[in-house]
Structures are given as structure tokens and as C-alpha cells.
Structure 1
């Protein structure tokens, strides 16, 4: 009896430990949220009907699928450009799996199964899966090296491929309950765990993502080797002796790969922005699951560095095209801004995890900024055209080689289109979160969620016209009356905060407050970490209304951001605006917006799939080439949401506008 009691106590203690060793806040799964939203549902539908089929078709037509067929046959020649092209199939399967939870589609599910069969056939008996080598091991891709893993640190992307396989397998299993892709992933993960470790092969993966993928497999299986190997890969960074720590070159120093020093000594964001974002997200996972305070301290410092010194006003990160990387502190040029779409996606992943760790609304503020601006700008409204980079301005007189003025169908390196494919349908999973009897509302997206609070079902229905309207309605419907805290995020922009730092600030403070009512009566709410806390015994039929002020706000940058001195940007709600050539007499680089300019708003249902535009008056500089004269004139000014630019032909665009004329550059042809 005593031993039985001790065994029970041990199991109870083990259960308590395992529950503690995780994110203190848990996201409400995307499968528990059904959208009716006018902003996001059409995008998710387009992703399902256009983007996913187009992505799969392009995987077929470009030879990505053929690579798997040749790997299965052990015959042929790798027929695409990069050894990481396998991941475009994995990422599209991941996106399609998310999409199936919203739009059950037997034909799509059957097609995915046929691809999984081909992936299985291409997998080697010990679990190795990398078509760039398996097709012809005697002549692998020149990035791959003569043997497995020998170029993993720099070029091969073997572990990167595995990471995206794991992420796809986790999503597919969660959405469908099928194990066919998951079993492939587990065999590959078991191989990796047998090869790499403290007393085995040493390497810091050249392109992070395998760490995030291993964590997802650990969550599904509970197999501790997956978590241990994920942590090992992160801890291996900063120990390679082949770099020159004194070099300013990020490749020679290892900074490009975030491999220049141990991760616990890294206090600022550096190197390739996508790799960095995936690393920081994985460090958050490990910090949550192992209670690693050193990891937590590092990513807290790095996050602060990004938000105070290295992020654009529209949520883009990775300013420098040479290396697709972060620049120095405050190095945020507009004319050459890079802002890879994948980096915005990585930023969403990382900030969501930071929220789950800390429960602070500031992380969702950054997530929302990226999501509504610098991320969805990366996909056209047709669902099949994309930006790899996301420009901050386009001038006809200057177009940098790395900048794109119009979207393309696909790219030789098509990581961004397939990354968008998997991000868009996962949005429902970012709306709600929970910690015990605390229910967090993070994003304002119409739909119904099913949540369990204190072992009792609760349904929350959102109705709104966000991001165009600040009136938000939440119908609360517990099965039986019960008490819990509803925590509604008060966006930073509704609290006179353009950014949770002094990198960007509103030019003028607003005295308008967020008004909240419960069942029509004003609610005196408390604020905790950026959330309005509504503590009630909720019953079916209770209605919460939140009114967010939606004024047009002018933004100024920190004086250390040299390119934005004397300029303003415009924001309304979560949306950052830009001016584009079709609305402003063919140019935007000649516009000045005086400090006292006021703006009106107008919703245009027939423009850019329905947008609210800003209207005002600007000063335009006019050049009379016949008489070599320069003059100014007043003209009507229109701004559109930044995400919607480049849908009406190729021309100028700007986000930042000078408030006065201080000088003029003379450009002669």
C-alpha cells in the first residue's frame, strides 16, 4: 500500500512538473476557432482556392515533386536550383493542412496523401530524407558536400529541410489525425538524434528551423530526445573555431548564422533575419519547456534590441539586402529596405511565443503590426503573386537592385510564397490564449471560438469590422454560469503608443480612451500588462462591447533613424498607410505633408478589395524642365493601406513624408 501511495504521489508530482515545464499561457488551437471575418476569411479562402493549388502546381511544374520521384528511383539528376527546394512541398502541405480544418476538401486531402506517398518512397531506410543527395549520392548537389551533414553549417540545409518536414507533419497530424507524414518525420528525427549530440557529431545548423520542428514532435510524442537535440543545436552555436571573431564580415565572424558567440551571450539581433527569427522562436520554446533562464534573458534582450532599434514602422525586419540581415542599431534605410516576407513571418512566430512566456500585450502589438502590414503586403490579392522583399519607398529616379516594385508569380528561391501559404490559414490560432481561468483576446477577428475554462465549455463569438472600425462585440456563452477573467488586449496604438519603445512615437497625444461596456453598462476595468481585465461571473447572453479610438495618427521616428528625420508616417488603427502614384498625380516622392495637416477617412468598397483611405491636402513640388524652374502647389492627397500597394501598375510609393522643404536634390539625366 505504501509503495502504491508513493507511486501515485510520484505520478502526481511528475504531472505537475510536466505541466509547469511549458508556456505558462497556452494558445487556443486553430481547430477550435471558426471565422466569419470580412478581412481574414476572404484571404484564407483565397489561400485555399488559389494560393495552395498554385503552390502545388508550381512544385510540380518546377521539378520539386520530380526530385522526390527521382530520389525514390535512385536515378536522374536533381532538377531544381537549391537543395532546400524540398521544403516548398513541406510548407505547402503545412498550409494545406491548416486550411483543411476550415475547408474540408477530400480532393485536396487525397492529393496531399499522394505527395506523402512520394515523400515516403524518397526516404532512405535509416530515415534520411534529402533529395539533393539521395537521387545520386555519387554526385550530390554542390552545396551538399560529398557526405551527409559535412556542409550543414554553411550550405547544405539538410537539417533545415528536416525542420520544415517536422512542422508540416505536426500540422497535418493535428488537422487530419493521420500519421502517414508524422511517421516519416519521426524516422527522420530519430536519425538526427542518433547522429548529433554532445558526444556525437557537432554542428550548429546553418539555417535554423529544425529546432522548432523537433519541439513540435516532442509535444506530440513526449520523446525527450527530440527536446534534448533541439536544445543541443541551439547550445552548439558560438563554439566553432573556424570563424574570425574580430572580423566585421558577418560571414567570416559567424554572425550571419548567429554563430559568432554562444546564444546566452547574444544580446542583440544580428545576421540573416529569417534564421534569427527562427532561432529566437526556438529559444523561447526551450526556455518554456526546460525553464532555462539564460535562454529567456537572451531573447528578452534581443527582443528589446529589435523593438527599440531594428524594426520598421510597418513591422518589417532585416533592413540590409546584402545577407538579408539586420543592420546596425537604427540602420533603417527606406530607399534600400529589404524586409523579406519570411522575416515578417518569423517575427510573428517569435512574438507569439514571447507573449506565451510573459503574457504582455506588447508582443501581440508587434505581431499585429507585422501581420496587418509588412507580412500580408508579401502576397497579392490574386493569391498567386508575391513580394520577396517589401519596400519602404519606390522612386522612379532610384530603384535599388534588391527592391521589387511589383509582385512576381514565384522566384528561383520561393521560400516566401510557400511560407505565406502556411502562415495565412494559421491565423485563427493567434486570436485567443488561456492561462487557467484567464482567457486572453489577442486579435480582433470575427468568428466563434470554443474554449474550456475550469473543465467547462465556453463559447466566445466576436463580431466586428476590424481593422476599419474600432467597435468590437464579444458574446460570451458558457454552458453554465461561471466566473473567469476575460482579458481584452488594449492595442498600444489605442494607448498613445506607436511602438512599445521610443523608436517610433505619435506626434501628438490623444485624450480619447477605450470605452468598454458589459450588457450595455459602462465597465470600470483594470489594466494588466496591456489588457483590460473583466472579472465576472459570466452567463449565456452576456455581451461585451469595446470601442477603440480610430483616429488618424501621425508618427515620428527616433532622431537616430537618420532617414526619417523631419518626416511623418500615418497610421489608423493597426494599419500603416502609404501614398501610391495612381492617387497622387503620378508621383509620391515630391509630396510634403505639413505638420498641421488634418485627414478624413472614407471606406471604398470598390478599391483594392475594400479599404479605408485617408484624404487630406499635401504640398507638391513641381519641376518645370522647360524653364529650369521649381515651384510648389497644393494638391489633394490620398493614402492607402501599405499592404495594398502595387496592385495598380508600377510606380512610386512612399510611407514617410517630409513636413517641410529643407533642401532639394538635383538629378540630371
Structure 2
């Protein structure tokens, strides 16, 4: 395995990629992330950013959702307000993403006021849900006159209407809220909606691929949360529908729907759709243990990282379609590199690490988070970039009408994505595999890692990324044998990213001491 060094190796075991078990009882990723609730940042880099997200970015996002009618759409659908649907037909998803971020924040920092606010918001979601589980305010507010873009009737335009996309983000938020609080009201809404989707779609029912992937990974989360295998089966169904023309007309390359997933070899189309789909496909690969899915996702990853990714970890070079370009089509000034795409790339690479255990995936994750993601939000936490070009003259309004960060956008998928990713990020720092602990990211703080032999407390002291010195204090609850595996970053070994797409002028590796 590339890029790992044993700091403490009391049991000399080879690294094997063998299936783990999910909480639902079936196969899962062989490597298990340490929950973000067990990792605390206390350094000078990440701790202030996480606190800014809690104090500034989260309330600012809720305020903007209220000001722009996103929240009142749920009140209208619930019959608590009169009026028409406001905004874009997929705006429900923004509220769900902020709610997800709020749930993660609540899990880290108990806050009765935020808890009560979420309860009231969830009551609106439940009120807006139709009797059979359908939840999509763009239609429910006035079924006879749905919002523009929502389709004439239910499921009439799965390719573009984002019904399943919105519902996917709702399911993710509901699982997060249940795990943070133990409450079931939101989870019950998600289960009711997922059960509707399961009744409508599947073999012998309605055949479709999701127009904007997201539901696939959400169903995987719901499966883990509830143990209901039919949710995993439904996620697999939607993955298998990609490029399958047996029962329907294909959407095309922009939607990653140009050929069967198991035959795909390149990262193509809309970059956010792609990153979410590849993440969901990785979940299905891990949860089913099917090697064909793993082979497919490996091929696509190799193409994306070695030919179609920016040095920042950004993906999606083309403004037209917010999409991947051809191999090596990576211009600087016109780069799109959407903030959401950076988040999707991080999701995908973390899953690839959990699947294979190779440090190269965490190298890409780290580069993406420090560059492609963090560029998307100001230090103050209340202005954002939608695209992130690698050069700007300060005049061209590349950021949807502005040459600088903006507090909001008509389509505000990026600010609402930022707010949910920050609090969950520490959960990507550590992982376990049997009696092995992986240290994948470096920042000052503590982690409580559960092994079969008891808990292990790890304290990190470092000024990383400004300084490469890292001090680890490892305190096991009980005496025993375990491995501590430290990621040696690729950049410290003369390789900025996996492959040869980017190289240093002086490729000599740094002196690494342990």
C-alpha cells in the first residue's frame, strides 16, 4: 500500500482489503472511519474554520433560505401559508443541506436553541409531505400549476426536475439528524418518502436513472441506519440503470448515462453529478461486495485524477455544462471547478480510501479540501465562490456576475454544501481496520478511536499545513497490540498528486523522519 508508514507495529500483519460488516449486517467498506463526533480539532487552522461555520455560515445560510422563500415553500406546501412557490424547482435541497449541517453541528456542540429551530423546521417538512410520502414543494403547493421546471406531473421529467435529487438530500439530512439527536420525526419522513420511491421504481416497475445523482448515496446511508436491505437494492437499481437503454431512452454523457456504468472508463459530464454518482457507486460496490463495481469505479478514478483534475483537486474544467473536459483540457482562467464539485470529489476519494486503504486517495482528499474546497468560502464565513478558476484579472465577473465572493446565488447549492461539509470533515481524519488505526489527516486535536481491545486516545500537536512537524501522543485504554499507520503525504515524497499529471521542478522527496 502506497504512502503509509507504521509508527507502532506490534503485530506484523499484511494489509488485506477484505470486506467489513455494515451496521445493517451485510458487507461494507473494509476500513471504517472514526466518527466525526469522536474527533476534536483544537489547532490554529481547522478549529477556527469549524467555529466560524457554526457561528456564522450556518445561521447565514438559514437566514438566506428564509429571505428567499426556500423555507416558506414548505409552509405553503403544508397549508400554513398562502402563495405560490418561490425560486427554482430544486430549492428544497438547499434547506435540506443546511439542516444536515445543523444536525452535524448539534452533534458536536449541543445547542437547545438550534435543536428547537430544527424541530420546528422538521415539523414543516412533515407537514409538506403528501400522504403517500411524496415531498417536493415545487409541485405540492399547487399540483395543477407546478413551478417551472418541475414537470407536468409526478416523475414526468426525472431527467431534469430534481425530484429524486431533492429527496436524496432530505434523506441524508434525516439520517444525520437521527444520529445526532436520536429523534425519529425526520427519519420517519425520510422512510415514508423512500418507501414511496421503492414502490414506484425498480425491476418490473418504473425504470429510470436519477437525473442528478445523489439519491444513490442517500439510500446507502438509509440502509445503514435502518437495516432495510430494500434501500440498498434500490440504490443498486439506480446505479445499474445508468446507461441501460433496455427500458428507457438514455439521457446522455452530461448525465453519465451514455453507456452502462460497468463499461464506463472516463470521468464525464456535469462534475457534481459525476462526483455524487461515483460516490454512490462506491457505496454500492462496498455494500454488495461486487468486484465488477469496484473495477469500474477504479477505472473512472484513474482517468479523473491522472488526466482531468486540477492541481487544486478541482474537477470540471468547462463552464459550459459545469463539466469535465477531455483529457488534459485544464485551462486556468476559464476553469470552472465548482465548489460543490470539490466537495463531491472529496466524498468520492474518501470512499475510495475506505475501499482500498491506499494513501493516494487521502492525498487527493487533502489537496482538494485545502484548495478546491476552502477557496469556496471566505475566512469570515459569509461569502462564497461558486466556480474557482485558477487565475483571475479581478475584473471578469466569473462568480455568477461578480469577480469576488458573493453572499448568495440564485442557485445556491455551493453555500449550502459548504455548511454541511465543514462539521463532518474531522470524521475523515482517522479510520480503523481490525487492529489497525490509520491517521489520514494531520491537524491539532484529539481523537477517541474504538478498537476491539478498547479505546485509544490520540492527541496531535502540529502547525500543519504551515509546518510538517507532527507530534502524536497515543494512550490506549488497555495494554494490547495494534498498528498505528501514518500517511506519508505524496507531496512529501516528490509527487503532488497520484500519476504524472503534475510534477515538481525538483522532484526530490523531502527528508522524512519518524
For Structure 1 versus Structure 2, the TM-score category normalised by the shorter chain is: over 0.9
Aligned residues: 495
Pairing partner for 1:189 from 194, 197, 205: 194
Pairing partner for 1:426 from 416, 424, 427: 424
1:143 pairs with 2:141: no
| Paired position in structure 2 for 1:54 | 60
Pairing partner for 1:300 from 298, 301, 306: 298
Partners of 2:509 and 2:491 lie apart in 1 by: 12
| Paired position in structure 1 for 2:339 | 341
1:414-443 deviation line (CA, Å, top 9, x unaligned): 000000000011111001000000100000
Q: How many Å apart are 1:454 and its aligned residue? A: 2.2
For the structure 1 residues 403 and 140, does the alpha-carbon distance in structure 2 shift closer, same or farther, using more than 3 Å as the test?
closer
| Paired position in structure 1 for 2:49 | 43
**Residue segments in structure 1 that go unaligned for 5+ positions in a row:** 1-13, 246-252, 517-669
Q: How many Å apart are 1:32 and its aligned residue? A: 1.1
Pairing partner for 1:177 from 173, 177, 182: 182
Structure with higher helix content: 2
Question: Is the Cα contact below 8 Å between 2:408 and 2:415 reproduced in 1?
Answer: yes
Question: Is the Cα contact below 8 Å between 1:452 and 1:458 reproduced in 2?
Answer: yes
When normalised by structure 1's length, the TM-score is 0.72
Partners of 1:19 and 1:439 lie apart in 2 by: 22
Question: Is the Cα contact below 8 Å between 1:195 and 1:201 reproduced in 2?
Answer: yes
| Paired position in structure 2 for 1:203 | 208
Question: Is the Cα contact below 8 Å between 2:495 and 2:507 reproduced in 1?
Answer: no
**Residue segments in structure 2 that go unaligned for 5+ positions in a row:** 1-19
State how 1:401-480 maps to structure 2 within 5 Å: 405-480=403-478
SS in 2 for 1:87: helix
**Cα RMSD (Å) of the superposition?**
2.0
Partners of 1:479 and 1:187 lie apart in 2 by: 42
1:169-221 deviation line (CA, Å, top 9, x unaligned): 11111111111111110110011011100110111010000011111000011
Question: Is the Cα contact below 8 Å between 2:386 and 2:400 reproduced in 1?
Answer: no
For the structure 1 residues 320 and 370, does the alpha-carbon distance in structure 2 shift closer, same or farther, using more than 3 Å as the test?
same
Q: How many Å apart are 1:239 and its aligned residue? A: 2.4
| Paired position in structure 2 for 1:390 | 388
| Structure number with higher relative contact order (C-alpha < 8 Å, ≥ 6 residues apart) | 2
State how 1:207-356 maps to structure 2 within 5 Å: 207-240=212-245, 254-356=252-354
Partners of 1:241 and 1:21 lie apart in 2 by: 29
1:575-609 deviation line (CA, Å, top 9, x unaligned): xxxxxxxxxxxxxxxxxxxxxxxxxxxxxxxxxxx
For the structure 1 residues 227 and 78, does the alpha-carbon distance in structure 2 shift closer, same or farther, using more than 3 Å as the test?
farther
Q: How many Å apart are 1:455 and its aligned residue? A: 3.4
| Paired position in structure 2 for 1:67 | 73
State how 1:623-642 maps to structure 2 within 5 Å: none
Q: How many Å apart are 1:398 and its aligned residue? A: 6.1
Partners of 1:480 and 1:358 lie apart in 2 by: 29
Q: How many Å apart are 1:78 and its aligned residue? A: 3.7
For the structure 1 residues 511 and 418, does the alpha-carbon distance in structure 2 shift closer, same or farther, using more than 3 Å as the test?
closer
Partners of 2:434 and 2:389 lie apart in 1 by: 42
Q: Please identify the structure whose Cα radius of gyration is greater.
A: 1
1:253-289 deviation line (CA, Å, top 9, x unaligned): 6000111111111100000000000000011100001
1:83 pairs with 2:89: yes
Partners of 2:432 and 2:482 lie apart in 1 by: 11
Q: Structure 1: which 4+ aligned runs deviate by more than 3 Å? A: 14-20, 74-79, 240-245, 396-404
SS in 1 for 2:404: coil
SS in 1 for 2:474: strand
Partners of 1:401 and 1:210 lie apart in 2 by: 28
SS in 1 for 2:122: helix
Structure with higher strand content: 1
Q: Which moved more, 1:390-399 or 1:206-215?
A: 390-399
| Paired position in structure 1 for 2:3 | none
Partners of 2:61 and 2:182 lie apart in 1 by: 23
| Paired position in structure 1 for 2:138 | 132
SS in 1 for 2:449: strand
SS in 1 for 2:455: strand
Question: Is the Cα contact below 8 Å between 2:395 and 2:403 reproduced in 1?
Answer: no
Partners of 2:509 and 2:242 lie apart in 1 by: 48
Q: How many Å apart are 1:402 and its aligned residue? A: 6.1
SS in 2 for 1:475: strand
Q: How many Å apart are 1:382 and its aligned residue? A: 1.3
SS in 2 for 1:152: coil
